[in-house]
Amino acid sequence: MKIDKTLAVSEMYQQYVMETYGRADMLFVRGAGCNLWDAKGKKYLDFAAGIAVCNLGHCHPAVTDAICKQAQKLVHVSNLYLNEKQPELAKRIVENTFDGVCFFCNSGAEANEALIKFARRWGSDKKKFEIICMNDSFHGRTLATLAATGRSKYRQGFQPDMPGFKFVPYNDIKAVEKAITKETCAVLLEAVQGEGGVIPADKTYLQKLRALCDKKGILMLFDEVQCGFGRTGKLFGWMHGDIIPDAFSMAKAIANGFPMGAMMCRREHAHVLPPGTHASTFGGTALASAAGCAVMDTIIKEKLLDNCVEQGAFLKERLSAFVGKYACVQGVRGHGLMIGVVLDRPAAGLLAILRKKGLIALSAGETVLRLVPPLTVTRAECEKALKIIETGLKELNKESK
Ligand SMILES: Cc1ncc(COP(=O)(O)O)c(C=O)c1O
């Protein structure tokens, strides 16, 4: 009798892995570019990219090569010594953003922890500690990043919340102005809110916020964990505002799926976290940094920002035509290849239909279908995805009649 591998693996999960995720019973065994294959050999078009992680597509040869070569040479020595690759990655990030310095860690939440600690330490001698955050934001699952997250459902059961965070509506400059006190040290935001529903910040809002932070002498911090590394058509989301932040966090796509996170601040703030004030055992290993260097080089060499803008505009235009045509579609928003299709109902039903038809996508803020394909996606793959989405919408429409 042939064993159903998916079932066998699912049973092992049930027995041995903590159930903190609502996982679909789908066992992916191979990926290449925008495609995934499950254990039964079925091929899927991947418009989730591991939640905006595999921006170069699955198993991009440049990243695979870099990982294999580095793994044969040196993996880890700790941050008590130097490794060749960490400053190479930092140099690439700095040279493509602004003059500053990087700190490396392993995940988005950790990168935001570093950002929060950086802001508090910066404010400590001025007795400023409070950080103004946005409603509907998402910054991670550690206790500090949960406290900074603007959706209280994530915090339930983990109270008391860490103090020092305040919330204001997103894209509302007056609300920030009102919330600033003499204890405020920073404002923290996503340039495009990801988990909150793919909501971009307005350019004028970003510019006014920068001016306000300068006027009040507080830090402007960006969480670029989801919208960074070319996802929005610019290398980092804050670039849409034509402004320079004081510091920002990165993770997800930084090493195309190899775990890594980072925080970067302006050079004038480089002294804020001196030796002994912050650390991470695995941060910026030679192996992760080698993968990160390959990602940065590939984004530039393959002109992925151009492709992101082009395919993103095409998808947005075609998806916008579904508004009015299908009653359940209320709108389309986002930048580049971070696109949200706003539905009149939870996106979970549509996602299940799409999966059956061979398209992997995501939800955001419950009622938004989130599309974040690899930045390498081709026009033909976009057309294929659109076809699947349209048949899915037709099915949804039929269901609601
Ligand atoms: C904007 C943002 N910040 C932080 C995080 C947390 O990242 P991680 O899961 O790597 O800790 C996420 C994850 O989805 C995110 O989207």
- pLDDT, one tens digit per residue, over 86-145 is 999 999 999 999 999 999 999 999 999 999 999 999 999 999 999 999 999 999 999 999
Examine the pLDDT at 238 and tell me if it is beyond 80.
yes
- Residue whose token pair is 């400023």: 128
User: Whose C-alpha lies nearest to ligand 1, atom 3?
Assistant: 139
pLDDT-derived band at 401 (thresholds 50, 70, 90) equals low
Peptide bond into 61 cis (omega under 30): no
Measured from the CA of 194, which atom of ligand 1 is nearest? 16
Examine the pLDDT at 1 and tell me if it is beyond 90.
no
Beta bridge partners of 44: 36
Instruction: Quote the CA–CA distance of 186 and 209 in Å, as a whole number.
Output: 11
d(CA 346, ligand 1 centre) in Å? 21
Closest CA to 219 of 193, 177, 184: 184
pLDDT at 34: 98
Q: What percent of the chain has pLDDT over 90?
A: 98
Q: In one letter, which amino acid is 278?
A: H
**Mean pLDDT over the full length of the chain:** 97
Task: Output the ligand 1 site: residues, CB below 6 A.
Answer: 51, 107-109, 112, 138-140, 190, 194-195, 223, 225-226, 251
pLDDT at 400: 73
Measured from the CA of 145, which atom of ligand 1 is nearest? 4
Element of type H or E holding 338: strand 338-343
Q: State pLDDT tens for residues 341-359.
A: 999 999 999 999 999 999 9
Contact 388, 353 (CB under 8 A): no
Contact 329, 393 (CB under 8 A): yes
Quick one: tokens of 278?
Answer: 């912050």
User: Whose C-alpha lies nearest to ligand 1, atom 8?
Assistant: 108
Instruction: Quote the CA–CA distance of 229 and 192 in Å, as a whole number.
Output: 13
Q: What is the mean pLDDT of residues 66-78?
A: 98
Taking the CB of residue 7, how many other CB atoms lie within 10 A of it? 12
pLDDT at 2: 72
d(CA 139, ligand 1 centre) in Å? 6
Choosing from 226, 248, 280 the residue with most ligand 1 atoms within 8 A of its CB, the one to mutate for a pocket test is 226
User: Whose C-alpha lies nearest to ligand 1, atom 9?
Assistant: 108
Contact 372, 337 (CB under 8 A): yes
d(CA 58, ligand 1 centre) in Å? 20
Measured from the CA of 190, which atom of ligand 1 is nearest? 1
pLDDT-derived band at 398 (thresholds 50, 70, 90) equals confident
Question: CA Rg, the chain, in Å?
Answer: 21
pLDDT-derived band at 399 (thresholds 50, 70, 90) equals confident
Q: State pLDDT tens for residues 255-267.
A: 999 999 999 999 9
d(CA 295, ligand 1 centre) in Å? 19
Quick one: tokens of 47?
Answer: 């418009």
Examine the pLDDT at 308 and tell me if it is beyond 80.
yes
d(CA 109, ligand 1 centre) in Å? 6
Examine the pLDDT at 81 and tell me if it is beyond 90.
yes
Architecture, CATH, for domain 61-301: 3-Layer(aba) Sandwich (3.40)
Q: Report the DSSP pairing between strands 184-189 and 130-134.
A: parallel
User: Whose C-alpha lies nearest to ligand 1, atom 16?
Assistant: 226
User: How many helices (H) and strands (E) in the chain?
Assistant: 12, 17
Closest CA to 115 of 247, 309, 267, 274: 247
Q: Which fold has domain 37-56+303-335+345-400?
A: Aspartate Aminotransferase, domain 1 (3.90.1150)
Choosing from 139, 256, 362 the residue with most ligand 1 atoms within 8 A of its CB, the one to mutate for a pocket test is 139
Task: State phi, psi for 329 to the nearest 5 degrees.
Answer: -95, 120
Q: State pLDDT tens for residues 7-28.
A: 999 999 999 999 999 999 999 9
pLDDT at 67: 98
Q: Where are the domains of the chain?
A: 37-56+303-335+345-400, 61-301
Choosing from 137, 225, 229, 280 the residue with most ligand 1 atoms within 8 A of its CB, the one to mutate for a pocket test is 225
Contact 257, 33 (CB under 8 A): no
Choosing from 20, 138, 192, 363 the residue with most ligand 1 atoms within 8 A of its CB, the one to mutate for a pocket test is 138
Is it true that 37-56+303-335+345-400 and 61-301 share their CATH fold?
no
3-state SS of 221-235 is EEECCCCCCCCCCCC
d(CA 134, ligand 1 centre) in Å? 15
Quick one: tokens of 133?
Answer: 């955050």
Q: What is the mean pLDDT of residues 154-163?
A: 96
Q: State pLDDT tens for residues 132-149.
A: 999 999 999 999 999 999
